[in-house]
Chain A
Amino acid sequence: MIQKVKMWAKSFTLFELFKGLGITWRNMWRKKITVQYPEEETPVSFRFRGVLALRRYPNGEERCIACKLCEAVCPALAITIESEPRADGTRRTTRYDIDAFKCINCGFCEEACPVDSIVTVPESHYHMEERGENIMTKEKLLAIGDMFEEKIAKAKKLDSEYR
């Protein structure tokens, strides 16, 4: 009986509605957590495995020595390397292709690399428009490396504490 009276009173005073509006009111004054994506971004860990890149030494020499360990470790078989002696007698790649569609961004290649050449940059902003662009050639990878070198060096430095 009393229950019924309570229900009757609640529905006539629009109690539920005001309760709900109360939440809206409270949240209206709270700090916003929405990120305005292209303009704003969430912070990214220095270990984030984003776009792949090949690095150079400070003197401009490419790091990669064609040891093919990344090719061997890659679980998705995304990496293809061909190598031969360069004119100065050092071991170098003549082809270093990563199929970005096959790549699962596991970062094993980075782990395997003895010279910190292939890296996953904490950078997720990349896309492809044409068929064929998914094949990241050596030139492309080196260009990405050059572009993000500062970022990569910083990430490597931060990560070195935990190694």
Chain B
Amino acid sequence: MIEFEIDGVKVKAEPGETIIQAADRAGVYIPRFCYHKKLSIAANCRMCLVEIEKAPKPTPACAFPASQDMKVFTRSPVALKAQRAVMEFLLINHPLDCPVCDQGGECELQDLSMGYGEGVSQYTERKKCVDDEDIGPLISTYMTRCIKCTRCVRFGDEIAGMPEIGAVNRGEDTEISTYVGKSVKSEVSGNIIDICPVGALTSKPYKFTARAWELKQHASIAPHDCLGSNIYIHTASNQYQKGREVKRVVPLDNEKINETWLSDRDRFSYEGLNSENRVTRPMIKQGGKWIETDWQSAMDMAYQGFAKIVEMKNPDAIGGLISPSATTEEHYLFQQLLRAIGTNNIDHRIRQIDFSDSMDSPTFPGLSINIEELEKQDTIVLIGSNIRHEQPLAGVRVRKAWKNGGKVLAINPVKRNYNFDTAKEMTVGISNMVPFLSEVVKALADKYKNKRFIEWLKDIKPSQDAIDFAEEIDKGVETAILLGADSLSHPQAGAIKSLVIAILAILQKGNYGELTTGANSAGAWLAGAVPHRLPTGENDSAGLNAQQMFSQPLDGYLLHGVEPEFDVANPQQALTALRYAPHVVVLSPFVSETMKDYANVILPIGAFSEISGSYVNVEGTTQRFRSANAPMGEARPGWKVLRVMGNFFEFEGFDYKDLEEVQMSFKEESDDDRKFERPMLYMKQDFVAHKPKGLIRIVDWPMYRVDATTRYAKSLQKTISDEERSARIHSKTVKQLKLNIPSGHMVEVIQNDESIQVKLVIDDNVPEKHVYLPAGLEETAGFGEVAGIVEVKIP
């Protein structure tokens, strides 16, 4: 520990720490622009000049390491003169357009020029102007305002891995540019809006719609991925609509989860909240026509329908699907309602098709280490994970681990475009995921002479690739094996999980992680929103799971925040079952034409900013949040709707007065001590390759099509490229299929007698005999199932 003085105050610092870091901790403010605690030190703005005793000239505090008994003065005449002079320099080319600038009111330059600048400039020459570039639909640029602090450039290089953005030219002509006018394509690009100290980079969707001082800040939790990033929702009052409107979302610092960053999906999805597709009044279908009605009659109709099914048939003809992004309280009440009706047909695992491991699974799927420990791993194995798109900020952590010298290995159905290098990456297609993994396990078992596993996999002969891969895994000291969405929605997901656990069992080390879809899969498991497990954690006789509910059509469906044409693993089957079902009740913030087609009752519920509740993230941390604004129109929070539905049935135990009572009824010992336990080893899988005849369709959900709110967010939708909306096929397979057309032409894709026309993209990143066609797109709404067989031909 070093001890030194800043402005007469004794301050302690670690050796090697710079003055500004020590000062920040001690609460002494030193003005700065280019210094950012999460980025490397550039020392190019010179705003943090301070006087150091016995130093001949003022010194930049951000770059100068603290030393024992040093005396630093931040407000001495020398320091002040230097700061004023620097401020005058910075303002030479900065336009004085604060009134039209979106940063006005929250601008670091504005604040510091008030505090540290002079009223008059000696500079009378013309100011320099810089052309703006269009860098995409999310970020608007006004480069004349740029003060060349290079925070955005460093963020791109160091954190996001987006080298598109950089400084060109020298001296006074320096400009921040994307070199060739490219748009910035990164899943965390929005952070450059926050780190820009001036108004050069601002948010495009928020552009000119509000001022910083009008906004009210509400702490909340991001609802799109399993990390549960902490956010601030900013709302402004809308006098004419009587209520507050969400204007933007910015990150809330939490070192344990999102540091100071936020993914674009979490940042810009709020646009969906104000979509015209919001449903504001309960709607019922009468005589084939939709009418808006009051809550009483809508709830009554919903209740009557279910009551009739229970009376005429049995409760097991009713099933309920809930979005994995609903709050834990909603999950709990949802299963409580359905279990009270008398059915166990409850599920939130809408994208899963293999449920063979359900009974053996741990209390909730998750990560056996903390999220922040991810960056300390020296070996990270990604299995079927496009982590950049699925959990962008976990991707940032993995990239950090790689930058720190870690090694990333990957087994994927398609080659993913990572922003880190992989030591070994296997692109095996859907069919070879399990065979390859079993070879890896066998190779490890052979190496460690583990008889039990050698016996288990006696028919398997590891290939050289598998042996090399096993070797790489074995070298790691701190290893994390992460399963992504491609594994979890794989037709042999259970086998994949058991093989991964086998790897860890052989190695006797390493960490396991399932990076689940949705924001609250863990919460759903804990609250019992699965067909085979009660909220108490005990297994029960299993009801129908998400897949069976549609393959064995039911009479009544209760859907909560799910749009089956986009969200489920088999949209085609789901829509058929729903259209055929006599009674479908949908609780949703949004309404679509398809929904009007299959539903009987639509009950409007609040979207993410409008509800209170809690999410349990992938590491098992419960995070509670409060609503930021009132639900739109007559919509009500989901938990209230479910509670009142319970009252309609006159069930006992539904008389909750507030959310706390709901929480109390299922809360176990202490949420803080909850820790993910690694799943038990089970070895009952047989490892036949999933090799159906024909082309296999690889399905994933594009980053901005994962849930309804994101799908209705306009700006995010504009970033989806044509390539992502097309069928991607390997060039050899294209030849085999005799598709004599170049990329960009339309092809007809046929799956289960249904056909759609999409663009063809010839892409060698897709393995042979596969067609990579994502779900969740408008083009593929209600089309085919995950990993199904498709035909492709020229229309």
The interface of chain A, by Cβ under 8 A from chain B, is: 65-69, 71-72, 80, 82-85, 90-92, 95, 114-115
Q: Which chain B positions have C-beta within 8 A of A90?
A: 100
Which residues does chain A contribute within 8 Å of B476, judged by CB atoms?
none
Q: Which of B20-28, B117-125, B209-217, B763-771 contacts A (4 or more CB under 8 A)?
A: B209-217
Residues of A within 8 A of B207 (CB): 84-85
Q: Select from chain B the residue with minimum beta-carbon distance to A92.
A: B208
> What separation, in Å, do the CA atoms of A95 and B241 have in the docked complex?
14
Per the bound structure, the CA–CA distance linking A81 and B373 in Å amounts to: 47
User: Which chain A positions have C-beta within 8 A of B214?
Assistant: 68, 71-72
Cβ-neighbour of A83 out of B104, B208, B239 (below 8 A) = B208
Contact present for B213 and A84 (CB under 8 Å): no
Chain B residue contacts of A65, Cβ below 8 A:
99-100
A110 to B: closest C-beta gap in Å: 15
Which of B98, B100, B209, B213 is within 8 Å of A72, CB to CB? B213
Contacts of A114 in B (CB 8 A): 99
B209 and A84 form a contact (CB under 8 A): yes
Residues 80-104 of chain B, each 1 if its beta carbon lies under 8 Å from chain A, else 0: 0000000000000000001110001
Sample of 9 further A-B pairs with CB below 8 A, known A66-B208, A67-B99: A67-B104, A68-B211, A72-B211, A72-B214, A83-B208, A84-B208, A90-B100, A91-B100, A115-B99
Q: Are A80 and B239 in contact (CB under 8 A)?
A: yes
Contacting residues, chain B, for A83 (C-beta < 8 A): 208-210
Contacts of B239 in A (CB 8 A): 80
A67 touches B100 (CB 8 A): yes
- Complex CA gap A67/B102 in Å reads 9
Residues on B with C-beta less than 8 A from A72 are: 211, 213-214
What CA separation (Å) do A80 and B100 show in the bound complex? 17
4 smallest beta-carbon distances between A and B, as pairs: A67-B99, A91-B208, A114-B99, A91-B100
Q: How far is the CA of A72 from the CA of B214 in the complex (A)?
A: 8
* Closest beta carbon of chain B to A50's beta carbon, Å: 25
- Chain B nearest CB, measured from A84 CB (Å): 6
B136 to chain A, nearest CB (A): 16
Give the residues in chain B near A95, CB-CB below 8 Å: 240
| Nearest chain A residue, comparing its CB with the CB of B104 | A67
20 example contacts (A-B, Cβ-Cβ < 8 A) are as follows: A66-B100, A66-B208, A67-B98, A67-B99, A67-B104, A67-B211, A68-B214, A69-B99, A71-B214, A72-B211, A72-B213, A80-B239, A80-B240, A83-B208, A84-B207, A84-B209, A85-B207, A92-B208, A95-B240, A115-B99
Residues of A within 8 A of B208 (CB): 66, 83-85, 91-92
Chain B residues with Cβ below 8 Å from A115 are: 99
| Residues from chain B with Cβ under 8 Å of A68 in the complex | 211, 214
B240 CB contacts on chain A under 8 angstroms = 80, 95
Across the two chains, which residue of chain B brings its CB closest to A86?
B208
Complex alpha-carbon distance, A45 and B479, angstroms: 81
8 Å CB interface, B142-192 against A? none
CB distance from B609 to the nearest CB of A (A): 20
CB distance from B565 to the nearest CB of A (A): 32
Whole-angstrom distance between the alpha carbons of A127 and B104 in the complex?
37
Q: How far is the CA of A45 from the CA of B703 in the complex (A)?
A: 64
A91: chain B residues within 8 A (beta carbon): 100, 208
CB-CB nearest in chain A for B99: A67
The complex places the Cα of A95 from the Cα of B240 at a distance, in Å, of: 11
Q: A125: shortest Cβ distance to chain B, in Å?
A: 29
